[in-house]
Amino acid sequence: MLRIICFFCLAGLLSLPSLAQPRKTPAPAPKTVAPARRTYCNPLNLDYGYTPIPEFAAAGRHRATADPVITRYKGDYYLFSTNQWGYWHSKDLSNWKFVSRSFLKPQHKVYDDLCAPAVFVLGDTLLVFGSTHNKDFPIWMSTNPKANEWKEAVEPFQIGAWDPAFFLDTDGKLYLYWGSSNEFPLYGQQISRKTFQPIGEAKAMFKLNDQQFGWQRFGEYLDNTFLDPFMEGAWMTKHNGKYYLQYGAPGTEFSGYADGVQVADKPLGPFTPQPHNPFAYKPGGFARGAGHGNTFQDAWNSWWHVSTMVVSVKNNFERRLGLWPAGFDAEGTLYTNTTFGDYPHYLPTGPADHLKSKFTGWMLLNYQRPVQVSSTLGGYLPNYAVDESIKTYWSAATANPGEFIQTDLGSVGTVRAIQINYADQEAGILGKKPGLYHQYKLYHSLDGKKWKVLVDKSRNRTDVPHDYVELAAPVKTRFLKLENVHMPTGKFAISGLRVFGLGSGVRPLSVQGFVVLRTEKDKRSAWLKWTPVNNAYAYNIYTGLAPDKLYNCIMVHGANEYYFKGMDKDRPYYFTIEAINENGVSTRTPVTLAK
């Protein structure tokens, strides 16, 4: 589970003065206007392929990918993820171009084409390796991946590694980390960078400890209902001489899917859990989950984290990708900033301090607002498109042109961007199919009677399952109507028609009566309660290990309580909360200590 950098130039006409005319005083130079900062919104709007595995599609064919890795190579970003039959590249973390490529060979009788791939740069070469339990996959290499030119660096690679990750240390030594199990630990091993043969024996790194760390418990409610938790998705980052071995847990199907990290002085350990864990965490909001990803640097050496987001409706492994600002604080703590993580955020344009939010401040304007539709299929009801859950969706009865959904903001607001999240209802595709595209028109109105075209994509020829449209200029309006022109497959179905900007009212008041109940019975868990704020539609709960390090954020809709079960049982935690509505956020409450 990435965006645009804007450049501009000023052009002028220069004319030579006539020799017969007196020289004129030059006109003042035009004022330089700073380019607008462009934005993106999670889930990332990529042309995700559909699951290629028939038994995974028994409850409905659907788009699916996960386990992403982004690597910079020759000035471009390359994005690989599970079972996409290819990869993407981009110059700006926004406009991604897909390159169709199967990395399977005739002897590979599997569906898993680069499942949870490892991607790394060695010298002037980009290398890729997919998950396998056997010693039967090659490591692929390319010096021109844009042109889809690949050959085997070694075949077969002599380690069967699921969820692999290569790491090239600053001393030139190469390492491999891997593991995906609820029984076995992560493993690490040195690899010859010349022959890609293993050096020495594989070494166990560490296992989960869900008795200590509440967030590692399996299940949607972190209760270890029927399985032990899984650890997977290794990734290594070196920073200031320390080695940060990252991993996903406790299960990719759940809202609490997150990335943890342990730290060592040497690449193969011994490792110690970082106090702040998980470091990538998004259990609330429209699209949840921030596990199994990788940490990388942009063109200005600022850190980012890309990871898996959860849908898990038609299959446990129905997933998307998300991108988050990340970094290391002054004490070397690795963090990921997921606050308002599925709202519009600014793209990088230069060096940045990611402890300072990249959130635009554009609020959601149509949460649970009135909806009108052209038709409804069965129980896929209209308001499921505005309930801030990617798991629910409205479906029209057909995919015909003219099917529409209309949302009322309740009052006139300033609209800055719209995200259109399509759902897979009666899709008919397995795997990656070229040539898919969505077409639609988006209208707006002040009174719901006279309509103007706001966005016209009736001639669009690209696949945009999570289309995010940042308006060139803000528009004051009240009603928006999305009208279908063409669907790539299935019915016209929307899991989220999300309108962003600023309302015309007042921000919510500060939350009152905020309490954190953490008992001796199980100090991994706490019950958080507060008095509802009348004009708030959601709340952000911030938590961390110090009053000035509240690095994790949980967005809660339509409730005035939350069961937080993600704590280290031996550490004190700090909490604060803010209320949210279409006009902004309240001031936060005083920080509360829960010992």
Instruction: List the alpha helices (DSSP H) in 268-381.
Output: none
pLDDT of res. 5: 32
Structure-derived torsion over alpha carbons of residues 141, 143, 149, 150, reported in degrees to the nearest 10:
-10
Select from 554, 510, 513 the least CA-distant residue to 530: 513
Cα→Cα distances 181→43, 228, 252, 297, 368, Å: 27, 9, 12, 29, 40
What is the maximal distance between C-alpha atoms in the chain?
96
Q: What's CA 459's distance to the chain center, in Å? A: 28
pLDDT at 28: 45
- Is residue 51 within 8 A of residue 61, CB to CB? The reply is yes
Whole-number Å distance between alpha carbons of 208 and 125: 35
Measured from the Cβ of residue 377, the count of other Cβ atoms closer than 10 Å reads 16
Give the SS3 label for residue 276.
coil
d(CA 116, CA 121) in angstroms, rounded, equals 17
Tokens of 537: 């539609």
**Peptide bond preceding 275 in cis form (omega within 30 of 0):** no
As a whole number of angstroms, the distance between CA 177 and CA 371 comes to 49
Nearest alpha carbon to residue 43 among 8, 85, 1, 13 = 1
Residue 111 is predicted with a pLDDT of: 81
- Amino acid making up residue 527: W
Per the CB < 8 A criterion, the answer to whether 159 and 203 are in contact is no
Residue (of 502, 215, 473, 453) closest to 343 by Cα position: 502
Only one residue has tokens 């990750």, namely 165
Query: Do 337 and 352 contact (CB within 8 A), yes or no?
Result: no
Bond before 382 cis per omega within 30 degrees: no
* Strand 334-336 to 39-40 pairing: unpaired
Q: Which long-range contacts (CB under 8 A, 24 or more apart) does 56-59 make?
A: 56/315, 56/317, 57/314, 57/315, 57/430, 58/315, 59/314, 59/315
Alpha carbon dihedral 114, 120, 126, 127, in 10-degree steps, equals: -50
Please work out, in degrees rounded to the nearest 5, the angle formed at the alpha carbon of residue 426 by the alpha carbons of 424 and 431.
65
| C-alpha–C-alpha distance, residues 233 and 216, integer Å | 14
* Strand runs labelled E in 380-465: 394-395, 404-422, 439-445, 452-457
pTM, to two decimals: 0.92
Q: Please tell me the distance from the alpha carbon of residue 570 to that of residue 214, in angstroms, as a whole number.
A: 11
What's at 510, amino acid-wise? S
Give the model's pLDDT for residue 510: 98
Burial class from Cβ neighbours inside 10 Å (0-12, 13-18, 19+) for residue 530 reads buried
Residue in the structure block whose two tokens are 């008992």: 519
- The length of the chain in residues reads 595
Bridge pairing between strands 198-204 and 174-178: unpaired
Mean pLDDT by 10 residues, the chain (595 residues): 32 30 40 66 98 95 98 98 97 96 87 92 97 92 98 94 97 98 98 95 98 98 94 98 98 97 98 98 98 98 98 97 98 98 97 95 98 98 98 98 98 98 97 96 97 98 98 97 98 98 97 96 97 97 98 97 98 98 98 97
Residue with tokens 């708030």: 536
Q: Determine the pLDDT at residue 37.
A: 81
pLDDT at 113: 87
- Cα torsion angle, 281, 308, 2, 74, sign: positive
Burial class for 101, CB neighbours closer than 10 Å (0-12, 13-18, 19+)? middle
pLDDT at 27: 44
